[in-house]
Amino acid sequence: MDYQLIILIAMLAMFVLGVIKLKLPAGVSLMLAGVVGALVGGEGLPLRHLVEGAFGFFEPILIIAVGMIFMELLKSRGVLASISVGSLKAFHRFPTLLIIALAVFVMFPGTMTGLATMSILTTGALALPLLIAMGMPKLSAGSLVVMLSVCGEVAPPICVPAMIIGGGVDMPYIGLAKPLFLASFPIAIILSLVYRFKYLGRVDLDEITRKLEFGEEKLQSRLDFIPLVFVIVYMVGETMLHGYFIHLGIPLIFAIGILMIVGISIFTGGGVSIFKVSGAGMKKAMPVMAILAGVGIFLEILTLTGVRGYLTVNALFLPDALKYSIAMMMPFLGSAYGSASIIGVPLLYVFIGKNELVVTSGLVLMASLGDLMPPPSLLCSYAAQMLKEKNHFKILRRSLWPIIFALIFGLLILIFATQIANIIL
């Protein structure tokens, strides 16, 4: 057996042992897997490589941190609740348009931060009571929201799993908007329409409005929409109109949006506890930030020990059936970010003859489904808590057919990557 394969097996074994047996966070398990790989590879404890690896995804970590704080501030000022109620009032006569608007609404925080957890904890938490008030069974509502949260994680402009795969193969995060749009929005719309025609009928605006309660999350001022509009417009403009917008970078755009929210709150009154809200946002972001640090260490040790090159060379000779089978196994690592780094990076080399941008979008879709899978089944757990459902596996079971549908959709993207690229790129 090749020594690189022994190193890889040791690292994977440590990761699985940490997550399943020791019940450690995925980020910590990835870090320990990197340390074990270095020791087995005879590199000792290479502190320089461990530190460099931990900062390998520093920009996505910054994006997640300031993006999470920005969304929490919007939520605390009642902007998200206002958008939810506004969508209901605007489209209540057209249930099909309403469900599509809600789908985009749920996905929105994920598209801005690259985090499915951000969607489920903010707009998802607002959409769940609305869907139930409209007549959807609570388990089905939970299933739809968790799937939309996954789609938000895949969608552009910010997709952290795509950044991980790109970072692992030295591919810049450029040109992925259309492929990622294809891998996310069609699934979200199709699933929303299926749930709409299966469960929802006529929408009674007065009755639903009486049932909806968002607590203290009421709109403080119409001016609170300005930071949200600024962030969206500047992100789109910086991406599509390079010559007309000064390049600030996504973290700085979010930071400016945060300052605008604080300034507006001081000007209009109502107040905002910046430290309390920022602390809540960072608490939610910390597990994902730790995973990115762990992924960076994992990839750095793969490179240091020669395992990355070994996987790259040998992956080229795998039969097609095995390539696609491995891709279909990506969700079962139980983490979008772990799956993107451990399986997604080598698989991009496997499909080297196809368009790498489209292939990356398909791999990201499959990897992101891992956030639904046990042992953590994180998104389902969050949804179950909001629905006061003790067994979160009921939501996972209700989500099985959407998961299978998304997997098949991702597989088709991989198979027809070249043809898709000729159409959309």
pLDDT at 344: 87
Tell which residue, 346, 344, 351, 343, has the closest CA to residue 311: 346
Total Cβ atoms within 10 A of residue 92: 18
Q: Is residue 290 packed enough to be buried (19+ CB in 10 Å), middle (13-18) or exposed (0-12)? A: buried
DSSP letter at 204 equals: -
Buried b (16+ CB within 10 A) or exposed e, 294-314: bbbbbbbbbebbebbebbbee
Q: How far, CA to CA in Å, does 262 sit from each of 62, 235, 270? A: 19, 20, 11
pLDDT at 376: 66
Total Cβ atoms within 10 A of residue 332: 12
Tell which residue, 284, 283, 302, 286, has the closest CA to residue 30: 302
Mean pLDDT in runs of 10 for the chain (425 residues)? 86 86 83 92 90 86 86 84 81 87 91 85 84 88 95 92 86 91 96 91 71 58 87 80 78 91 82 79 82 85 84 74 86 79 83 90 94 80 84 90 96 95 91
pLDDT at 141: 93
Tell which residue, 333, 345, 326, has the closest CA to residue 378: 333
| Element at 260 (helix H, strand E) | helix 250-268
Q: Dig out the tokens for 409 from the structure.
A: 């959709």
Tokens 């198979």 locate to 415
Tokens 């430290």 locate to 275
Alpha helices by DSSP H, listed for 136-249, are 138-154, 160-168, 177-199, 205-211, 225-240
Q: How far apart are CA 69 and CA 3, in angstroms?
A: 44
- Please answer whether residues 251 and 62 qualify as being in contact, where contact means their C-beta atoms are separated by less than 8 angstroms: yes
For residue 220, give the 3-state DSSP assignment.
Answer: coil
pLDDT digits (tens, 9 = 90+) for 61-85: 888 888 888 888 888 888 888 887 7
Q: Dig out the tokens for 50 from the structure.
A: 């461990």
pLDDT digits (tens, 9 = 90+) for 83-129: 877 888 888 788 899 999 999 999 988 898 888 888 888 888 888 88
pLDDT at 216: 46
Total Cβ atoms within 10 A of residue 81: 23
pLDDT at 327: 87
pLDDT at 215: 46
Q: How far apart are CA 300 and CA 61, in angstroms?
A: 17
DSSP letter at 351 equals: T
For residue 277, give the 3-state DSSP assignment.
Answer: helix
Supply the pTM of this predicted model: 0.81
Q: Dig out the tokens for 296 from the structure.
A: 């960076």
- Please answer whether residues 261 and 220 qualify as being in contact, where contact means their C-beta atoms are separated by less than 8 angstroms: no
